[in-house]
Structure 1
C-alpha cells in the first residue's frame, strides 16, 4: 500500500483515486462535456509553452510566496471550489480545507459541497473563500451570502458560466443523479470500494450541506432533485452581480471569464478579481483553453483587478507557465481531488508539497529567485497560443 511520501506527481494520485473512489464519483471529476476537447486542451496547451533555461545565476535564496486577494499565500495557488468534494473522501471539504490551511494557501468551498459552510468554518482557523451559484431563489442566495459573512469568509466567488448545464456523457452512463441511482453496476462497484464505504459510514455528512435544510422545501436529497432542476437561472445578468456585491460587501471574485469584453464588464460591475475559467472543460465544449486566452484578458483589465486562472493545472510547472503569462495565481481542482480520493487529507498535503517544490525548482532553472520576477521572458515561445 503506497504512502504519501511515495507519490511523486498528480498522475500517481489519479491512478490510485481511480482504484479507490466509486466510478460514478471518480468520473464526475475526471470528465468534460460532450467530446471533452476543451477539457483536454486545457492541459495540452499548457504543455506547449516551453521554458527558457538559464545557468550560472545565483539562485541560492528563493521564494515562491505571494499575496492572493491581498492576503499572504505560500505560493500562487488556491484550491478551487469543486462540487461534491465530500464524495471523493468522507468529509472531503473539511480535510481539503485543513490541508490548504496547513500549506498556507486559500481554500474555496462550493455551493454544492457536501460539508456546509458552517462545517468547514468549525474545523479550520483560516478564513476561506466561498463560491456562489446564482439560483432563481434570490432569498436563498441572500441567505447563503449571510451565512458566508457569518463564517467570516474572506471572499465571495460568483460563478457565471452555469446558467445552463453542459452534458457530461460519463455522468449519464454512470447514473449520477440526486440521489445516485442504485443500479446493479453501481452496487457491484461499491462492493469493491470498502475503504470508501467505511469512511462514508463513519460520517453524518452525505447530502448537500449548504442546501438541504436551508432552501425552501428541500428537506432531504430526494426533494433536492426537483429543486435543483428548477434553480439554475438563465436570466442571470451583470445587474445581478451588482446586487450580489451590495449584499456581500466584501471582496468579490467573478469566475467563468473567457473573453476580454466580459472581463471589462466584470470590472465595471465591481469585481475585485476575476478567474479565467471554462469550468474545467465541463460546460462549453469547443471553448478555448484558459491559458490561451489568459494574456488577452490580462491586457484588457491591466492592473484594475487580480487575474487568476484555472483549468488543466496539475503541476508546479503549470503554475509557473500561468504566472509567466500574467496570472496572479491559479486554482487547482482535479489535482487535489485525485489526491483527496487517493489518500484523504495526507494526499492533499503531499500534492501541494509536490506542486510547491516543482514550482520552486523550475523557477530556479529559469534563473529567477522570486515569483514576483516571473514574466514572459522565462518562456521560449510565449506567443505560441496567440489567437487560441
Structure 2
C-alpha cells in the first residue's frame, strides 16, 4: 500500500519556483534555438522570402545540396570506452595559423541582404570565438571594414578571377595590405549555376519593390527598416549592382580561367593559397603538383553544378592520396558539430560553414552568429566526449563508417575512373 499525506506548504513552494522571464526578445528567441535547423526556422520567419531563399536554395533540382546533407546523416560512429574525457582540446592548426575550433566561417555573397549587420557581425563573432572568417569577393562589406571588425583574428579572402583581371588583382593586393593571411581561389564558377528559386522570386541586387515583395514584407517590417535606414550596399569588387544574382555572376566571372591564372595569383599573394571547389581526385593531385598550400573539397553548397560529387564522400580517398602533401578543408552540407567531427576523422583538417552562419545572422544579427558558433561547439565537444577522444588529433577513420545510399550502377565504371586518375 502507498502511504499518502497532505502536501506540506514548504514542499509545494519548492515545486513552484518559476524561471525568471527573459524580457529581451532577441535573446529569448535565440536561446530557444537548440540546433541549426531551429535557427533556420527562426530565420525564415524574420527574413523576406527572396533573401531567405537565396541563402537556403541551390541549383536546379537542389540534388547536390540534399545529397551532401544526407551524406553527413548517413554516418555511424564507433566510440571508445573508459577514457578520461573530462576535458577535450578542440584547437587545430590550419594553413599557417591556429583556430580554437575545427571550423571557420565560409565566404558568402550579398550578406548584408540577409541581415543588415552582415559580414561585420560574422567577422566580429569569429574573432571572439577564435576562428577564421572568410570574406567573399561578392561580399557587402569592404576588406578594410572586415579587418576593422576582426582586428586581432584571422581573416581570409575568397577570390573570383574575373573578366577584368585588374579588379581581381587589386583585391589580392588590398587583402594582403589589410593583413589577411589566406587566399581562397574559387575555381568552380566559370558561369553561374541555375538558381531557380532566385529566378522565380525575381531576386535582384538591389531588391526591387514589387507587389509580391511588398506583401511578403508586411509581416517583416524590421528587415525593411534595417535595409532602408542603413548605409547603401557596397560590394568588395563590383561597382554596378543591377540585375539578378545570375546576371552579376555571368557578367563578372570568366570561363577562360586556367592554370596560368593560378600561377599569376600565386606570384602576387604573400600568404597561404588555397584552392576552393575541388571535386575530383585527379584535380587534387594536379593542384598538389602545382604547390598550393591547401584545397577545399566543395561543390559550392550545391549552388553551381547540380548532381555534382558529394564532398564528404570524396574526402576519404583524397585524404588518403594527397593528405600527406597538402591540408584539406571541406564544406557543403554541414549542419551539426557531429558533421565536423566526422569530416575531421576522415581526413579533413578544417571545415567551413556557410548556410549555418547565415541562418544565425538572419535570426539575430551578431548575437545570432554567436548562437550558431555556440550550438556547433557544444555539439562537437559532446560528440568528442561520447567518442571518448581528448583531442582532434586522436580522431581517425576508425571512428567513422560512411553508410551509402548512392553507389555506381556499374561498379566497373568507378574502377575505370580510378585507373584514369592514376
User: Given the two structures, how large is their TM-score scaled by the length of structure 1?
Assistant: 0.93
Alignment of 1:1-388 (within 5 A): 1=25, 2-125=28-151, 126-212=153-239, 218=240, 221=242, 229-379=250-400, 381-382=401-402, 384=404
Following TM superposition, by how much is the alpha carbon of 1:201 offset from its aligned partner in structure 2, in angstroms? 3.0
RMSD: 2.0
Following TM superposition, by how much is the alpha carbon of 1:317 offset from its aligned partner in structure 2, in angstroms? 0.4
Structure 1 residues 383 and 300: CA distance shift in structure 2, 3 A: farther
Structure 1 residues 385 and 378: CA distance shift in structure 2, 3 A: farther
**In structure 1, C-alpha distance between the alignment counterparts of 2:214 and 2:175, rounded to whole Å:** 36
Following TM superposition, by how much is the alpha carbon of 1:4 offset from its aligned partner in structure 2, in angstroms? 2.6
**In structure 1, C-alpha distance between the alignment counterparts of 2:248 and 2:387, rounded to whole Å:** 52
**In structure 2, C-alpha distance between the alignment counterparts of 1:330 and 1:345, rounded to whole Å:** 21
**In structure 1, C-alpha distance between the alignment counterparts of 2:96 and 2:34, rounded to whole Å:** 31
Following TM superposition, by how much is the alpha carbon of 1:178 offset from its aligned partner in structure 2, in angstroms? 3.0
Q: Deviations over 1:198-219 (max 9, x none)?
A: 222332142324322xxxxx4x
Please give the secondary structure, in 1, of the residue aligned with 2:204: coil
Q: How many positions carry a matched residue from both structures?
A: 381
Following TM superposition, by how much is the alpha carbon of 1:385 offset from its aligned partner in structure 2, in angstroms? 7.7
**In structure 1, C-alpha distance between the alignment counterparts of 2:341 and 2:162, rounded to whole Å:** 35
Higher-Rg member (1/2): 2
Deviates more, 1:172-181 or 1:6-15: 172-181
Matched-pair contact (CA < 8 Å) for 1:292–1:387:
no
**In structure 2, C-alpha distance between the alignment counterparts of 1:128 and 1:202, rounded to whole Å:** 28
Following TM superposition, by how much is the alpha carbon of 1:384 offset from its aligned partner in structure 2, in angstroms? 4.4
Q: Deviations over 1:193-238 (max 9, x none)?
A: 21212222332142324322xxxxx4x6479997754331111111
Q: Deviations over 1:20-48 (max 9, x none)?
A: 11111100011111111111011101111
Please give the secondary structure, in 1, of the residue aligned with 2:206: coil
Deviates more, 1:162-171 or 1:116-125: 116-125
Matched-pair contact (CA < 8 Å) for 2:131–2:154:
no
Following TM superposition, by how much is the alpha carbon of 1:61 offset from its aligned partner in structure 2, in angstroms? 2.6
Deviates more, 1:290-299 or 1:118-127: 118-127
**In structure 2, C-alpha distance between the alignment counterparts of 1:181 and 1:61, rounded to whole Å:** 51
Q: Deviations over 1:306-356 (max 9, x none)?
A: 100001101110001101110001000100100100011111111111111
Matched-pair contact (CA < 8 Å) for 2:176–2:270:
no
Structure 1 residues 382 and 284: CA distance shift in structure 2, 3 A: same
Residue in 2 that maps onto 1:215: none
Matched-pair contact (CA < 8 Å) for 1:115–1:205:
no
Matched-pair contact (CA < 8 Å) for 2:193–2:246:
no
Matched-pair contact (CA < 8 Å) for 2:182–2:271:
yes
User: Given the two structures, how large is their TM-score scaled by the length of structure 2?
Assistant: 0.86
Matched-pair contact (CA < 8 Å) for 1:179–1:225:
no
Please give the secondary structure, in 2, of the residue aligned with 1:196: helix
**In structure 2, C-alpha distance between the alignment counterparts of 1:32 and 1:341, rounded to whole Å:** 18
